[in-house]
Amino acid sequence: MPNSQQAPLKIAVAGLGTVGAGVLKLLEVQADLIEQRCGRRIEVVAVSARSKGKDRGVDLSKLRWYDDPVAMAADGGADLVVELIGGSEGPARDTVATAIETGKHVVTANKALLAVHGTEIARKAESRGLAVAFEAAVAGGIPIIKGLREGLAANRVTEVHGILNGTCNYILTEMRNTGRDFAEVLADAQALGYAEADPSFDVDGVDAAHKLAILASVAFGTPVDFSAVHIEGIRQVSAVDFDYADQLGFRIKLLGIARRTEAGIEQRVHPCMVPKSAPIASVDGVFNAVVAQADFADRVLFVGRGAGAGPTASAVVADLIDVARGRSTPTFGVPADRLGALASSPMESRRGAYYVRLMVVDRPGVIADIAAAMRDQNVSMEQFLQRGRSPGEAVPVVLTTHDTEEAAMQKALATIAARDSVLEPPRMIRIEQF
Ligand SMILES: NC(=O)c1ccc[n+]([C@@H]2O[C@H](COP(=O)([O-])OP(=O)(O)OC[C@H]3O[C@@H](n4cnc5c(N)ncnc54)[C@H](OP(=O)(O)O)[C@@H]3O)[C@@H](O)[C@H]2O)c1
C-alpha cells in the first residue's frame, strides 16, 4: 500500500510542446487526485525546451530551466526524466540514454525512438532496474500498452490490428463524406491543425508503422523490429475508390496489422477495405482503434483519441503514477533479454482478397486479357464492376478477387499494367475480412 509519508517523485520534463505543456497542466490540475492514488506527490523539478521565452500556458517560474535536455537528464535532483521532444535520434535519444546511464526512470511518448531503438533501450534500463514506460507512444489516450501487457498478460495474442494514425483516419473519413480528393482534404486538415506542415510521416504510413512495431513487440514478446514492417500510405487512395467500396459493402481505412502466422510474424501498414459491419469500420475522424485477438479473452476492441494534449498527457501521467507507486513490469511485457525473435513473414506471402481498379480502353478483348492475366496466376475473381460503356474511350473497371497470395496478385497486376489498353497503373487495395 502507498505510504503517505513517502517523498515526492521528482521529475524532469524534456520538451514542452503539445504533450509536454499538456502534462504540466494535468499534473497541476489533478495533483490531489494523483497524490491520493499513489500516496505521494509527483513534483516537476526541471524542464527543458528550445525557446525559454515561449508562452506555454503554464507557470515555469519555479522550475529549473535547461537549454540542453541531455544536461538536464545528467543532473541530479530528479528520479525520472519525461522525454517529450520526439524523433528517433538526436536530443531525444541522447536524453533517454543519459537518463538511464545516470540511474533515472524514463517515461516517453516517442514512438519513433522506441520503434527503432526500443529493445536496446529496454535492455539497458532493465539491467539497471529502471522503468521505461511509453503508454502515450501508441494510440495516445487509449491504454493499449497496459491493455495488452497487463490486461491480456494471461493470453497468447495472435493478432493486433488497428487505426493507428488519426490524421489519416480523418482524411479518409472526410474523403468518404465529401467526395473530395486526397490533396484537397489534406490541405484542409493542415489548416485545421489535424495534419503537420510536412505530413509525410503520417500520410505515408511511417507513424502508424512505428506504433505497429511497438504493438507487435508487446503482443508477441518479440524484439521491436520496425525494419520488418511493410509500409504503404494513403496518397494513392482516390475519391472514386470510396464509391466502389461503398457499393461493395466496405469502408477504406489505413490499418496497421500484426499477425502471428505459421510463416512468422506479419507486420504491415496499408490502406484496407474492411466490411462495413466490422467494429473498426465505424471508427471515424481523428479517433484511433486497436483490436487484439487473444486465445482466452477472445476479441478485444479499444477505441479513443490517439492524439492531442489531454489524451496524450493522460497516458504519460498514468505511467508516472505507476512509477510513483513502485509498480513495474518489463518494458515490453517480457524481460528484454528474453524477447524471442521470430521469423518475419514477407509481404509476398500475405493471403487475402483484393480490390483492383483499372482505367482501360473500352474495346473488345480487353476484359478477356485482364481475366487471362489473373487466371495465369491462379487468381480467381469474385466480382466485376463496369459502369457504363464508352466504345473506344477510357472507362474504369473494378474487380475483387477471392483469397489469393500477394506474390501471385502482384505478378498478375504487372502483366495487366503492361497492356497498352490499360491507361493508368492499376490501383489495388487489400481486403481484410475481420
Ligand atoms: N502531439 C500529440 O498528440 C502526440 C501524441 C502521441 C505521441 N506524441 C509524441 O510526443 C512527442 C512530443 O510531441 P509534441 O506534439 O508535443 O511535439 P511538439 O509540440 O513539436 O514539441 C516538441 C518539444 O520539444 C522541444 N524541443 C525540440 N528540440 C529540442 C531540443 N533540441 N532541446 C530541447 N527541447 C527541444 C520543443 O521546444 P520549443 O517548444 O521551444 O520549440 C518543444 O517544446 C513526440 O515524440 C510525439 O511523437 C505526440
pLDDT digits (tens, 9 = 90+) for 47-69: 999 999 999 999 999 999 999 99
What's the whole-number average pLDDT of the chain?
96
Gap between the Cα atoms of 349 and 185, Å rounded: 34
Look-up of cell digits 491543425: 193
Q: Is 313 in the pocket of ligand 1 (CB under 6 A)?
A: no
pLDDT tens per residue across span 102-121: 999 999 999 999 999 999 99
- Tell me the pLDDT tens digit for each residue of 126-178: 999 999 999 999 999 999 999 999 999 999 999 999 999 999 999 999 999 99
Report whether residue 69 contacts ligand 1, using a CB cutoff of 6 Å.
Answer: yes
Quote the cell numbers at residue 337.
Answer: 533479454
Phi, psi of 108 (to 5 degrees): -145, 155
**Residue 428 pLDDT > 50:** yes
Distance CA 172, CA 254 (A): 8
C-alpha 116 to ligand 1 mean position (Å): 18
Query: Is the CB of residue 98 below 6 angstroms from any atom belonging to ligand 1?
Result: no
Worst-scoring range by mean pLDDT, 5-9, 145-149, 182-186? 5-9
The atom number, within ligand 1, closest to the CA of 110 reads 45
* Range with lowest mean pLDDT among 152-156, 281-285, 342-346: 342-346
Cβ of 142 below 6 Å from ligand 1: no
Which pLDDT score, from 0 to 100, does residue 113 have? 98
Q: How far apart are CA 379 and CA 336, in angstroms?
A: 42
Ligand 1 contacts CB of residue 304 (under 6 A):
no
Which of 134, 163, 164, 129 is CA-nearest to residue 149? 134
Q: Which residue has the cell 536524453?
A: 95
Question: 180: number of CA atoms within 13 Å, CB side?
Answer: 14
Distance in angstroms (rounded) separating the CA atoms of residues 227 and 240? 32
Nearest to 285 by CA among 364, 212, 192: 192
Q: Is the per-residue pLDDT at 3 higher than 70?
A: no
Is a pLDDT exceeding 70 seen at residue 334?
yes
Structure confidence at residue 5 as a pLDDT band (50, 70, 90): low
How do residues 15-51 score in pLDDT, each as one tens digit? Answer: 999 999 999 999 999 999 999 999 999 999 999 999 9
Determine whether 52 is an active site residue. no
Cell reading at 259: 499477425
Least-confidence region, from 69-73, 263-267, 315-319: 263-267
Instruction: Note the pLDDT of residue 232.
Output: 98
Atom of ligand 1 nearest to the CA of 137: 7
C-alpha–C-alpha distance, residues 258 and 82, integer Å: 28
Q: Give 14 Cα–ligand 1 centroid separation in angstroms.
A: 9
Please answer whether residues 142 and 290 qualify as being in contact, where contact means their C-beta atoms are separated by less than 8 angstroms. yes
C-alpha cell at 400: 475483387
b or e along 223-247 (b: 16 or more beta carbons within 10 Å of the residue's beta carbon)? bbbbebbbbbbbbebeeebbebbee
Find the mean pLDDT for residues 402-417: 98
Q: Is 80 exceeded by the pLDDT of residue 277? A: yes
Cβ atoms of 412 and 375 within 8 Å: the answer is: no
Q: What is the pLDDT of residue 246?
A: 96
Contact 81, 96 (CB under 8 A): yes
Mean pLDDT of the 192-202 span: 92
76 pLDDT band (50/70/90 cuts)?
A: confident
Q: Of 25, 211, 253, 276, which is the active-site residue?
A: 211
Give yes or no for a contact between 139 and 302, defined as CB atoms under 8 angstroms apart: yes
Mean pLDDT value of segment 193-208 = 94
Is residue 417 predicted with pLDDT exceeding 60?
Answer: yes
Q: What is the C-alpha radius of gyration for the chain, rounded to an integer number of angstroms?
A: 24
Q: According to the model, what pLDDT value does residue 434 have?
A: 85
Determine the distance separating the centroid of ligand 1 and the alpha carbon of 422, expressed in angstroms.
46
Q: Which amino acid is located at 139 in the chain?
A: A
**For 244-255, how does the pLDDT look when each residue is reduced to its tens digit (9 = 90+)?**
999 999 999 999
